[in-house]
Structure 1
C-alpha cells in the first residue's frame, strides 16, 4: 500500500506540474498581447509601442514594479524660494525653448541619460531620486563628482516609522530626498557591476532577502563612512517652474499615473 500511495502522489503532482506549465504557456495578458500593441501603434500619434514584457506576464508582477506611494493628504509641500534675481527663459539660447537635451548640454556627466534596471523590485522612486542627485552632483561640481549613487542603500535603509519597506511597499520621492539630506548616500552602480560602494543586487527571487548594510560590498577598497554625500536641501517644484529648474540645475524627479498602455512604451512622447 505505501508503494501505491507514493506512486499516486508522484503522478498527481506530475499532473499538477503539467497543468501549471500549460497555464503559463497559454495565458496571454490582454494588456501585453500582440493585438493590443498593434492597436496602440494604430491609435498613438506621438509615441511608439513595442514588446517590453513577455505576453504571459501577470498583472501581479507588473503591479509590484510600482513603488511610488500616493502622497499623504497631510504632507506640507516645501517649495524653493525664488532667487533674488528673477530668471527668465530669455537668458538662455532661444533654441532651448523648443528642445533641450541634458545629455548634450552636460556631456561630461556620464550618469545623465543612463537607464538603470530595477529588476523585480518596486524601487522606481529610489532609482529616480538617486539618479537625479547623481546628475546634479556632477553638474554642480562641473564633473568632479561623476558617479552613480546607490539605489540599493536607499531602498533598504530608509525607515518608515519602525518599518523598512524594502521592495514590497514602496516609498515617496520626497522621503528619499529627505533621507539623502539627513543621512547621506553612498555610491553604487548597476546590478552585478561591483561599481561603487553598494551597487544594485536585487535579482529575481531575491527581492525580499536583502537588508540595510553598513559596509562596502562592491568596491571593497572604498571606505563606507567617507563615501557618503549629502544634499544641502530638498524641495518641491511648481509645474510652472519645471522648465527653468531643469535649465538651471539639471534633471528633476517626477511621478505620474501609469495606464496599461505604458507597459509597451518604446519611444516618443507618451500620452495615455
Structure 2
C-alpha cells in the first residue's frame, strides 16, 4: 500500500507527540506489521486506504480513524451494552475530545515492538486453551518457598503510605507515576516514619533525557532519583514541599508546557534549600517480559511498582470492572501507571491487577482500575516494570539507607510468615 517506514517512528508515535489532523492513522489491536500499524502512523496513503475500506455499519472504534469527537454518550452506551467485564462512563476530562487531544494525556515515549506483540498473542491464545488452576503462587527465597496471597492491596497493607496524584493536562504520567512509587517505597521502607511527597515536577522539568509534558521514559526517572536525587513536593492543591506540582487537576486547558528546570525551591514558604532537600534511590530495577509472579514479589517485598502499558481509546471511558481491550480496540499510545496489588474478580477464576492511574479521582474507581492479569493485557506485564528501593538516610548517599531498607523488608516477610502460621 505504498507505506513509508520512518526510522524514527518508535520515538514519535506516543500520544503526546503533536500530530496534524491530516496525518493521523491508528493501529487496530492484534494487527501484524504488514497491515496498517504504528509504522504507518504518518502515512497518508495508509489512512486513505483504511477510510475507503470502512464498512457502512461502523463499529464503536471506527470513529477513531478520523479526528472526529470521541467518548460521547453514544460510545459509552455501546460499550455498556456489549458483553464486557467492565463498564464505561463519561468524564469531563475526556468527553468530546478528538483522538489528537486524547493522546496528549499519555506520555511513555515508545511502543511495544513486533516481537512483543507476537509473543503476547501467543500467550493469549495459549490461555484460551489452558484451564486455570486455583493453586496459590509460590515465592522462592534462599531457604524456603513462601506462598503469595491470593489477593493483595498495598493500600490495606500500608494504609499510612497510601496516596494518589493527578497529572493534569500534561503528558507527565512517566514522571507522576514514578514519583508516586518513590514516595510509596520511602514510606513503606521507613515503616511509615517518612511520609514525604516526592516532586514529580523536579523529575518532569530537570530529567533532561526525557521530554517533560511531551512524554518520557520511567526508567530515566528512577535513574535520575539515584544519580541526581529528587526534592520534595505535593499536589497542586496542597502547595507544600520544595516544588509542588504546577498544574491544577481537571483543567480545561488542552495541554500545559513543560516547566523550566529550576535548581531552587519554588515554594517560598518552604525553608529547606533545594540541594539539602534531595532524596535518593538505590539501583533501579527494570523488569521486561516478566512473569506476573515477579511483579507480585516486587510489590509484596517493597511496595507499588511503575508499569508501562498501551492505552486503547475505549480505556479512557473506563468506570469499573476488569478491563480487557477488544479485538478491534484502537491503540492510542503509551502510558505509565502504578500497580498496587492483585486479586480475583468476585472469587472467580478471573485474575486482575489493581492499579492506580493519574487521571484524577473522577475517572475509574476513584482514580483506580482493575485490568486482566496473567495474559499481558495491554502489555502491562511484558513492556516495562520499574522500581527502586530508597536511600533512607536523608540527604546522604551511604549504604546505611540500603541496610535499613533490607532490614525493614525482612521484618515484613517475617511478620507475614507469622500471620500465616
Please give the range of the TM-score, normalised by the shorter of the 2 chains: 0.7 to 0.9
Match of 2:240 among 190, 195, 199: 195
| Partner-residue secondary structure (3-state), 2:177 | helix
Q: How far has the Cα of 1:86 moved from its partner?
A: 5.9
1:181-239: per-residue Cα shift (whole Å, max 9, x none)?
11010111111421111011035378226200111122422221121110011012333
Asked if the contact 2:104–2:255 (Cα under 8 Å) also holds between the matched residues in 1, the reply is: no
Q: Say whether residues 1:159 and 2:208 are aligned partners.
A: yes
* Residue in structure 1 matched with residue 142 of structure 2 by the alignment: 85
Equivalent in the alignment of 1:20: none
Counterpart CA distance in 2 for 1:88 and 1:267 is: 35
Query: Which structure has the larger Rg over C-alpha atoms?
Result: 1
* Matched residue, 2:319: 266
Give the 3-state SS of the residue equivalent to 1:171 in structure 2: coil
Question: Which of 259, 279, 285 is residue 235 of structure 1 equivalent to?
Answer: 285
1:246-272 deviation per Cα after TM superposition (whole angstroms, max 9, x unaligned): 111110110111111111012222111
- Tell me if 1:68 matches 2:108: yes
Greater RCO (CA < 8 Å, at least 6 residues apart):
1
| 1:39 corresponds to which of 72, 78, 82 | 78
User: Which residue of structure 1 aligns with residue 185 of structure 2?
Assistant: 136
Question: Secondary structure in 1 aligned to 2:174?
Answer: helix
Equivalenced residue count is 225
193, 203, 222: which is aligned to 1:177?
222
Secondary structure of the residue that 1:103 maps to in structure 2? helix
Give the TM-score normalised by structure 2.
0.50
> What TM-score do you get using the length of structure 1 for normalisation?
0.75
Partner of 2:279, secondary structure, is coil
Unmatched 5+ stretches in structure 1: 1-27, 74-81
Counterpart Cα distance in 2 of 1:151 and 1:205: 20
For the residues of structure 1 that align with 2:306 and 2:258, how far apart are their CA atoms? 28
